[in-house]
């Protein structure tokens, strides 16, 4: 795809990194484009995907360093995650593949002060959602054209393997509801290119959903 909506938001997600190098988990890493950007900041990165083909492709692309990347095949829906372990967890275009309680599991895997960012897809369901979705169409067309022209000038870019996609995803209202339920204190921000950003910082003062 000449203009990748998930990749477009990488700088925004990197702005939310906690201070210090630390340990990062990238959930549903696909071919590892975001994992490599995390490693470039010096973080030690665990990049996991349920698809063996994706893990193999990502590992084959290596790491820019200075942080190390460990690629691992894992089903984040069913495999356990260590509790209070990661300084930063990212989940890009993957949450809608995972069971409903996954946000709680990811929250518990954060150290105090750790940050969870979820860049997700959300179906429009209100007039404001539809207006935002419509506004993205001409901007997207222009961005695609600019990126396509740039790639042609640079001799073209080889397509890597395509990550598995799911066609069904929640509405923005459902995303907000789950964020309030599983990540109290999180923020949910609709973004232009049909994406939603959940940001959560673990305060480490007990389970915010308890009681
Ligand atoms: C749409 S792709 C996004 C890939 C990548 N994050 C990106 O931004 O390009 C969703 C990814 O989630 C992975 N995935 C789906 N279910 C998963 C699960 N249960 N555990 C781990 N990864 C999963 C898929 O294999 C796929 O690579």
Q: How far is CA 145 from the centre of its chain?
A: 25
Is the C-beta atom of 165 inside 6 A of ligand 1? yes
The reply to whether 18 falls in a domain is: yes
Q: Whose CA is nearest to atom 27 of ligand 1?
A: 30
> Ligand 1: which residue has its CA nearest to atom 11?
28
Q: CA 35, 36, 38, 44 torsion: positive or negative?
A: positive
Regarding the beta carbon of 29 and ligand 1, being less than 6 Å apart is answered yes
Query: Is 99 a pocket residue for ligand 1 (Cβ < 6 Å)?
Result: no
Asked, for residue 152, whether it belongs to a domain, the answer is no
- Host domain of residue 21: 5-123+163-201
Decide which of 70 and 205 is more confident.
70
The response to whether residue 30 sits with its C-beta less than 6 Å from ligand 1 reads yes
28 in ligand 1 pocket by Cβ < 6 Å?
yes
- When divided into structural domains, the chain yields a total of 1
Does residue 59 carry a pLDDT above 60? yes
| Banded pLDDT at 127 (limits 50, 70, 90) | very high
Q: Supply the pLDDT for residue 178.
A: 95
Whole-number pLDDT of residue 142: 86
For residue 184, the SS3 value is coil
Q: What is the pLDDT of residues 26-49, one digit of tens each?
A: 999 999 999 999 999 999 999 999
User: Is the pLDDT confidence value at 1 over 60?
Assistant: no
What pLDDT, on the 0 to 100 scale, is given for residue 11? 97
Query: pLDDT tier at 138 (50, 70, 90 boundaries)?
Result: confident
Q: How do residues 175-185 score in pLDDT, each as one tens digit? A: 999 999 999 99
Residue 92, in any domain of the structure: yes
Which CATH number do you get for residue 22? 3.40.50.150
Does residue 4's CB lie within 6 angstroms of at least one atom of ligand 1?
Answer: no
The residue count for the chain: 211
Q: What is the pLDDT of residue 54?
A: 95
Domain assignment of residue 47, yes or no: yes
What is the pLDDT at residue 17? 97
Q: How far is the CA of 107 from the centre of ligand 1 (A)?
A: 18
User: Does residue 78 form part of some domain?
Assistant: yes
Unique residue bearing structure tokens 């949450």: 95
Residue 158 is predicted with a pLDDT of 62
Residue 130 placed within a domain: no
Residue with more model confidence, 57 or 62:
57
CA 128 to chain centre: 24
How far is it, in rounded angstroms, from Cα 41 to Cα 184? 28
């Amino acid at each position: 795809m000449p203009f990748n909506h998930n990749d477009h938001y990488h700088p925004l997600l990197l702005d939310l990194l906690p201070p210090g190098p630390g340990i990062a988990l990238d959930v549903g890493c696909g071919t590892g484009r975001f994992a490599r950007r995390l490693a470039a900041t010096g973080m030690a990165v665990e990049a996991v995907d349920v698809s063996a083909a994706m893990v193999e492709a990502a590992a084959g692309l290596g790491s820019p360093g200075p942080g190390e990347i460990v690629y691992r095949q894992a089903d984040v829906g069913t495999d356990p995650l260590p509790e209070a372990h990661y300084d930063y967890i990212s989940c890009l275009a993957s949450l809608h593949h995972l069971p409903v309680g996954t946000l709680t599991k990811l929250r518990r895997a954060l150290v105090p002060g750790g940050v969870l960012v979820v860049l997700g897809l959300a179906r429009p369901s209100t007039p404001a959602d539809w207006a935002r979705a419509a506004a993205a169409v001409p901007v997207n067309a222009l961005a695609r054209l600019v990126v396509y022209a740039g790639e042609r000038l640079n001799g073209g870019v080889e397509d890597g393997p395509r990550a598995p996609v799911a066609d069904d995803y929640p509405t923005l209202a459902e995303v907000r509801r789950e964020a309030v339920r599983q990540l109290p204190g999180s923020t949910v921000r609709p973004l232009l290119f049909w994406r939603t950003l959940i940001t959560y910082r673990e305060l480490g003062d007990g389970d915010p959903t308890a009681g």
